[in-house]
Amino acid sequence: MWYLDEFLTHLHSRQLSIRTIKIYRLHADRFIHFCEDRGIRSCNAVTDDDVHRFIVDVLDRQSHTPEWNYVALLCLGRYFAFLVEESILFAPPSIPVKKPRYSSGSYRALDKHPL
């Protein structure tokens, strides 16, 4: 059992926007489908290796931006944190979330022009 409906209800009770809840659902659904395709039938059976495999096989192979992958991992982290808070899991799998680096760029100083 994955407890996805309970998680989404929890997000709704925190008065998150519908759009935000849809993003959480999208990322959780992708992870759950990935696990079920590999024979994992419950959140209790997910290991650190399964999360790593998801990152390599799904997130890294698709042409999403680093920011999109970052959000995906944040959503998974929140999903597993919820499962721990609800005493469904004792400890969540490790989810390595690395904040993407944004290019700050060097800006060239403008020449001083007389008016």
- Between the CA atoms of 31, 32, 34 and 39, what dihedral angle is there, to the nearest 10 degrees? 150
Range list of H helices, the chain: 4-13, 18-37, 48-54, 66-85
pLDDT-flagged residues of the chain (< 50) = none
pLDDT of res. 110? 55
pLDDT of res. 96? 86
Helix (H, G, I), strand (E, B) or coil at 70: helix
pLDDT of res. 101? 66
pLDDT of res. 66? 87
pLDDT of res. 102? 59
**Which residues make Cβ contacts (< 8 Å) with residue 100, sequence separation at least 6?**
65, 66, 67, 69, 70
Helix (H, G, I), strand (E, B) or coil at 115: coil
